[in-house]
Amino acid sequence: CSSYNMVIREDNNTNRLRESLDLFESIWNNRWLRTISIILFLNKQDMLAEKVLAGKSKIEDYFPEYANYTVPEDATPDAGEDPKVTRAKFFIRDLFLRISTATGDGKHYCYPHFTCAVD
């Protein structure tokens, strides 16, 4: 999740989050996986929070649609979480969910989870 402002190593041009979205879309739409549900771990929530709260690298600079994004009413923020962080993490979640609900076939589902995995 925190890679919204980074590029992939292979070409120093492609946005990492866009690359993740493209990969997710190719897996989601793979004909062999059309009936397989997916658990989506949106990791590095701590790093996302740091970036958002620092305000140095704005999500809307990389994803212009973020400027008009509003948090869904059913979104539950973590206790004490800054509203800016809540908005950012649910925006990224919804980018993936938009892909998973585009077909509307009801044969497989995406179960997103916000995580912070550390060594």
CATH of domain 2-114: 3.40.50.300
pLDDT at 22: 96
Based on the number of CB atoms within 10 Å of its own CB, is 92 exposed (0-12), middle (13-18) or buried (19 or more)? buried
Q: Which residues are annotated as a binding site?
A: 43-46, 117
Residue 104 has pLDDT above 80, yes or no: no
Alpha helices in 29-64 (DSSP H): 45-54
Q: Which residues are annotated as a binding site for GTP?
A: 43-46, 117
Residues 12-71 have pLDDT tens digits of 899 999 999 999 999 999 999 989 999 999 999 999 999 999 988 899 999 999 999 999
Domain boundaries, given as residue ranges, for the chain: 2-114
**Residue 100, phi then psi, degrees to nearest 5:** -70, -20
pLDDT at 12: 86
- Its sign, for the CA torsion 44, 109, 96, 82, is negative
Banded model confidence at residue 103, pLDDT cuts 50, 70, 90:
confident
Distance separating the N- and C-terminal Cα atoms of the chain? 18
Residue 49, H or E segment: helix 45-54
